[in-house]
Structure 1
Amino acid sequence: MDASDLLFLVGAALLAALWWRRCCSRAGGDAGDGLPPGPPGWPVVGNLFQVVLERRPFMYVVRDLRARYGPIFTLRMGQRTLVVVSSAELIHDALVRKGPLFASRPADSPTRLLFSVGKCTVNSAPYGPLWRALRRNFVAEIVSPARVRSFGWIRDWAIAAHLARLREQQSRLGAAQVMGACRLTVCSILACICFGARVPEPHVREIEEVLKDVMMMTTPKLPDFLPVLTPLFRGQLTAARALRRRQLDCLLPLVRARRAFVGDENRQTETNWEMEMVSPAGDAYVDSLFGLEPAGRGRLGEEELVTLCSEVMSAGTDTSATALEWALLHLVLDPAAQERLHAEVVAKAGPKSKGGKITEAHVEDMPYLQAVVKETLRRHPPSHFVLSHAVSKDEAELGGYRIPANASVEFYTAWVAEDPSVWTEPGEWRPERFLEGGEGWDTDVTGTRGVRMMPFGAGRRICPAATLGMLHVHLMLANMVREFRWTPAPGDQPDPTETFAFTVVMKNPLRAAIIEREHDNCTTAI
C-alpha cells in the first residue's frame, strides 16, 4: 500500500466517522425501502466495519443483533445486503412453504468461483437445470438405498481400521485424539466411494489437509464485500490459485487412475503412491461423472470432476467428525449415559466378545443411540447457519418485508435449537428428550413438518447426503462405545468451549483415554 492509498483510507475513515455520529441518532435501517430493520451503517461500507471490529465469529454478532432487532433483520455489508432470518416460523415459511422461491444462491466471490469452477457443484449451483442434473446424479450414485447397501464393505473396512487406530493412539500417546481419528476414517470412506479405491492413509491425510485449507480459503473475506479493496489484497487471490493447484495435484491422479481402470478393468496406472482399485467399473461416484453432460454445461472436464468429488469429501468429513467429537465429549462427561448406550448396543447387536459386526439394521433399532446423536446435533449443530440462499425472482416477501433478488438470505438456524420457548433448558445435553414421550421424540430433523432443529438445512436445498452422514455417525459411535469405555485423559479435563473452523468445533480438541471392555455388562437399563 503506497502513501496515496493510505491517505485515501484515512480520509474515508474520518468521513465515515463524521457520518456515523449523524447516523447513530437514527434507529433501524433505511426508512421506506421495505427491507427488515437493522443497525444504522456508515456510507459505502454499511455495517461491514462494525461487524469486523467486533473481532469475534459472525454467529455471536448475529445473536446479539437478534436480541435488538428481532427474528429478521438487515445488514448492509459493503456492496452486499444480508437479510438474517432466525425464527422457526420464518425459516419454515421461506425454505418449505416458499421453497422454490428461496432455493437459489447469491453471487459468489472470485475465490469461490475458482474452487467451484463457476458454480458447478450441488451446493453452489443456482436453482435450475444444472443443479437438478448434479443433484439427481448425486442421489442416484451415492445415497440411494441400493448404493448405501453396496458401500457396506467400505464402512466395515474403514471402521475396523478406525478401531485399530484408536488402540494404537492409546498405546502410543496415552489417549485417543478423537477429531483427527474420526476425520481420517470418514474421509477414507468417502474417498473410496468417490474413486473406488482404498486410498493409502498418508494420501488421505494429504486430501484432508488440502480440503480443509480450501474450506477456510473460501470463507468470506473483506474484498468479497468491498471489491474496490481487491487491489490491496492481491495476495489472497494468488494464494487461492496456488491452493487450487495443490488440490488438482492431489486429486487428479485419482481421477485419471480411475478413468484408466474403467477403460480397462485389469489396468492400473502408475502413481507416486500405491493405490488399490477395489470397486468394479460403474460403482464409484466419479464413474458416473465421466459421461455426464448437464444441461447448459456440456461434458464435464477434469477440473469439474475434482471439484465434485471434493464437495462430497468436504461436506461429509467435517460434519460427521464434528458430531462424533461432541457426542463423545458428552459421553465422557456423563458416564451414566455412556453405560446406557453401551447396554443398548450390546443388547441389539451382541457383545464385543462375540465378534459380530454392528449393521445398519442394528443402529436403526437403537432409539437411545439415535437420541444421543440428535441431542448432540441440537446442542452442537455443525454450523450455526445453512449455506447462503437467494430468491429466484426480482422481489419476494418474508415476514411482511421485501427481499430483493441480489440479497444474501442467511438462516441462523442454531437459534431455533436453543430457543427456550421450544426446548426446556436448551443449554443442557439431555438425550432423553428425544425418546418416546419426550419433548423432542417426534421432531422432524428435515424441517418438513415444522422447524425445531435443522442440522442439514431444509426444503429444496437440504443436504442430500444427510441420511448417509447420520449412518456413518451412528455406526462409528456404536462401535466405539461397544469396544471401549471412554474416560478423561489423565490430567486433561475435557473443555466444551466452542470455536469456529468452518464447522463449530471444540476449541481444545478432545483427548480421551479408552479402556477395552473386557466383559460385556448388559445389566444397565435400556
Structure 2
Amino acid sequence: MELTDLLIIFSVLFFLCLWWRHLSKIRRGSKNQLPPGPPGWPLVGNLIQVILQRRHFIFIIRDLRKKYGPIFTMQMGQRTMVIVTSSQLIHEALVQRGPAFASRPPDSPIRLVFSVGKCAINSAEYGSLWRTLRRNFVTELITPTRVKQCSWIRKWAMEYHMKRIKNEASENGFIEVMSNCRLTICSILICLCFGAKISEERIKHIESILKDVMLITSPQLPDFLPILTPLFHRQMKEAKQLRKRQLDCLVPLIRNRKDFVQKGENPNSEMVDSLFGLEPNGRGQLGDEEIVTLCSEVISAGTDTSATTVEWALLHLVLNQEIQEKLYKEIVDCVGKDRLVEEEDVEKMVYLDAVVKETLRRHPPGHFLLSHAAIKDTELGGYAIPAGAYVEFYTAWVTEDPDLWSDAREFRPERFVDGDGVGVDVTGTRGVKMVPFGAGRRICPAWSLGMLHINLLLARMVHAFKWLPVPGAPPDPTETYAFTVVMKHPLKAIILPRSYVG
C-alpha cells in the first residue's frame, strides 16, 4: 500500500470519529427521535453487519420490519437511511405530503459522472431544474397527441419483433423472451428519442453500454462512506472511461439529428429536438453531455422495467395454460383471429389489463423506489426525518401484505376483475396497494407509455403464438436482483403459430 493511501486511511478514521461523535450528540439532543433500528458499530453503523450477513438487502429488510415495525432507521456508514414499509405511511409521505418528500439525496461521485451534476429527471433535486426537465419530457413524449403521432415507431418495432421471434424459433426450436423484448422496447425508445431507425447491431451496442452504466452506478462502498472515495480511484477511472464510451456512442445520433433539424428536413418533432433549445434555470443551454444523460435515462428506465414485466407475464402464461387461453379468447373476441392487434384495441381488453396488473403486483420491477429525501427537517409516523436523509420506500412488502391481498403469493389475474384488485390505483393517488411506478411528485412520468408497450407487446405475442415450456426444461421462477428484479434463468419457450403473425 502506498504512503498516500495510508495517509488517506488515517485521515478518514480521524474524520469519521469526529462525525460519529457529532451524530451521537445530535441524536441525544433531539426532541423527536429518528425511527428505531438495529444498533450499529462505531463509525460504520450497520454497514459491516449487512455485508457480513451475505444475504440480499431485501431479506435483511424483511427481518428488520418484523422486529422494528413499519418504519425504522439504518445507519449505513455516513448514510442515514429511513426505511418505510407500510401502505399508510408510503401514501402519507408520497401523496398526502408529496412536496415534503419529493427531493433526492446527494449522489455518489460515480453517479455524478453520468448525471452531469444531477441533470436528470430521476436524480434532480426537487426544484426548478427538475420541473423544467419533467415538464419538457411529458410535453414531448407522453401527451395523447404525441403518443398517437409516434404510433408508427411501435408499428415498425412490433412487426420486426414478431418476424424475429418467428425466425429464432425456427432456427433454435425455442426463443429467449427477455433478450427479444429488451431489443424491441429499446429500439422503440431510441427511435422516440432520436427519430431514427437504426440497425439491430447498433441498438444492441447502445443497450450494452447503458446496461454497464446501470451496473457501475449501483451502490458501492464509497457511496456509504464517501470519505473513502480517494481509495477507489480505479473505479472512478473506469467510470470516466465508460462515460466516454457512452458519449462516443450517442453524441453522433444527437448531432445527426441536430443537422437534420437545422436543414428543415424534419417532418416530425422528436424528444431530442426539444432539448436543443431548452435552457433550465441556472444552467444555460443544454450541451451534448446533458442531452446524452437525459436520453439515456429514458432508454434505460423504459427498457428494463417493460421487458422484465413482459417476461414475468409470459412465465405465468407458460406455467398456466388456462390463463393463457382465457387471454387469447379475449384478444380474438376483440380483433378476430387474423386482424392485427392495434394500440386502441388493448384499451378495451379487461383481462389483458388484469394479467399485466397482476404481473406488476406479483413481480414489481423494483422492490424499492428510487431514494427520496425530505426537503427540510420533518416527521413521519411520529418520528423525526432529517433533511437529506435517505428515505427508502420498500414497496414490495405492500404487494405481499395479507391485510391488503388475499393469497398474495398466488398469481391470479381474476382478482383485478372481480376480487380484491378491483379499482386499485397503480399510481397510488387514491391509496397504496401497489405502486410499480412510484407515486406522488416523483412518480415515473412515462408510466402510461410503459403500460402501452407492455400491453401491446403481450397481446401481439399471445395473439400470434401459443406459448409452451421447453420439454425437459421447465421455466425456473427464481428471482435475482439486477437493475430490476429479473428471472435468474431467462425464460425460454416454444411457440406454435395460431393466428396473424405479421
Normalising by structure 1, what TM-score? 0.90
8 Å contact kept, 1:261–1:281: no
The answer to whether 1:264 aligns with 2:247 is no
Indicate the residue corresponding to 1:269 in structure 2: none
Residue 5 of structure 1, CA deviation:
6.5
8 Å contact kept, 1:281–1:287: no
8 Å contact kept, 2:108–2:226: no
Deviation string 1:1-35 (CA, Å, 9 cap, x unpaired) is 3599689989x99xx9xxxxxxxxxxxx9796610
Residue 235 of structure 1, CA deviation:
1.1
Residue 282 of structure 1, CA deviation:
5.0
The answer to whether 1:160 aligns with 2:159 is yes
**Which amino acid in structure 1 is aligned with residue 238 of structure 2?**
A
- Identify which of 507, 510, 518 aligns with 2:488: 507
Indicate the residue corresponding to 2:461 in structure 1: 480
Counterparts of 1:464 and 1:8, CA distance in 2: 42
Indicate the residue corresponding to 1:524 in structure 2: none
Alignment map for 1:151-300 (pairs within 5 Å)? 151-266=150-265, 280-300=266-286
Indicate the residue corresponding to 2:386 in structure 1: 404
**Which amino acid in structure 2 is aligned with residue 158 of structure 1?**
A
Residue 306 of structure 1, CA deviation:
0.6
State the number of aligned residues: 487
Counterparts of 1:4 and 1:257, CA distance in 2: 46
Alignment map for 1:58-77 (pairs within 5 Å)? 58-77=57-76
Indicate the residue corresponding to 2:351 in structure 1: 368
Indicate the residue corresponding to 2:437 in structure 1: 456
8 Å contact kept, 1:422–1:452: yes
**Which amino acid in structure 1 is aligned with residue 494 of structure 2?**
A
8 Å contact kept, 1:103–1:392: yes
Counterparts of 1:519 and 1:125, CA distance in 2: 45
Identical pairs, percent: 61
Residue 412 of structure 1, CA deviation:
0.3
Indicate the residue corresponding to 2:22 in structure 1: none
Indicate the residue corresponding to 1:144 in structure 2: 143
Deviation string 1:348-384 (CA, Å, 9 cap, x unpaired) is 1221xx3x22122211110000000000000000000
Q: Secondary structure of 1:53's match?
A: helix
8 Å contact kept, 1:262–1:282: no
Q: Secondary structure of 2:80's match?
A: strand
Indicate the residue corresponding to 1:347 in structure 2: 333
Deviation string 1:164-184 (CA, Å, 9 cap, x unpaired) is 111111111111110000000
Deviation string 1:463-514 (CA, Å, 9 cap, x unpaired) is 0000000000000000000000000113211000000111000000000111
Counterparts of 1:281 and 1:303, CA distance in 2: 26
Residue 427 of structure 1, CA deviation:
0.5
Structure 1: runs of 5+ lacking an equivalent: 17-28, 267-279, 521-526
Residue 231 of structure 1, CA deviation:
2.8
**Which amino acid in structure 2 is aligned with residue 104 of structure 1?**
S
Deviation string 1:424-458 (CA, Å, 9 cap, x unpaired) is 010010000000x3111110010001000000000
Aligned-pair Cα RMSD in Å: 2.0
8 Å contact kept, 1:105–1:389: yes
- 1:8/1:102 Cα in 2 relative to 1: closer, same or farther (>3 Å)? closer
Residue 228 of structure 1, CA deviation:
2.9
- 1:415/1:58 Cα in 2 relative to 1: closer, same or farther (>3 Å)? same
Indicate the residue corresponding to 1:382 in structure 2: 365
Counterparts of 2:167 and 2:122, CA distance in 1: 37
- Identify which of 389, 393, 398 aligns with 1:416: 398
Q: Secondary structure of 2:203's match?
A: helix
Q: Secondary structure of 1:409's match?
A: strand
Indicate the residue corresponding to 2:106 in structure 1: 107
The answer to whether 1:334 aligns with 2:320 is yes
Alignment map for 1:77-88 (pairs within 5 Å)? 77-88=76-87
Residue 57 of structure 1, CA deviation:
2.2
Counterparts of 1:462 and 1:501, CA distance in 2: 21
**Which amino acid in structure 1 is aligned with residue 419 of structure 2?**
G
Q: Secondary structure of 1:197's match?
A: coil
**Which amino acid in structure 1 is aligned with residue 34 of structure 2?**
L
8 Å contact kept, 1:372–1:431: yes
Indicate the residue corresponding to 1:277 in structure 2: none
Normalising by structure 2, what TM-score? 0.94
8 Å contact kept, 2:45–2:76: yes
8 Å contact kept, 1:47–1:75: yes
- 1:192/1:4 Cα in 2 relative to 1: closer, same or farther (>3 Å)? closer
Q: Secondary structure of 1:381's match?
A: coil
Q: Secondary structure of 1:397's match?
A: strand
Counterparts of 1:136 and 1:227, CA distance in 2: 33
Q: Secondary structure of 1:249's match?
A: helix
- 1:331/1:171 Cα in 2 relative to 1: closer, same or farther (>3 Å)? same
Deviation string 1:76-135 (CA, Å, 9 cap, x unpaired) is 011110000000000000000100000000001111111011111111111111111100
Deviation string 1:319-375 (CA, Å, 9 cap, x unpaired) is 000000000000000000000000101111221xx3x22122211110000000000
After the TM superposition, list the runs of 4 or more consecutive aligned residues in structure 1 that deviate by more than 3 angstroms. 1-10, 29-33
8 Å contact kept, 2:37–2:68: yes
Indicate the residue corresponding to 2:479 in structure 1: 498
Counterparts of 2:117 and 2:410, CA distance in 1: 43
Counterparts of 2:328 and 2:348, CA distance in 1: 14
Residue 194 of structure 1, CA deviation:
0.2
Counterparts of 2:373 and 2:458, CA distance in 1: 36
8 Å contact kept, 2:94–2:439: yes
Counterparts of 1:230 and 1:251, CA distance in 2: 28
Indicate the residue corresponding to 1:271 in structure 2: none
**Which amino acid in structure 2 is aligned with residue 450 of structure 1?**
G
8 Å contact kept, 2:463–2:499: no
8 Å contact kept, 2:174–2:494: yes
Residue 232 of structure 1, CA deviation:
2.6
- Identify which of 396, 404, 409 aligns with 1:427: 409
- 1:7/1:262 Cα in 2 relative to 1: closer, same or farther (>3 Å)? closer
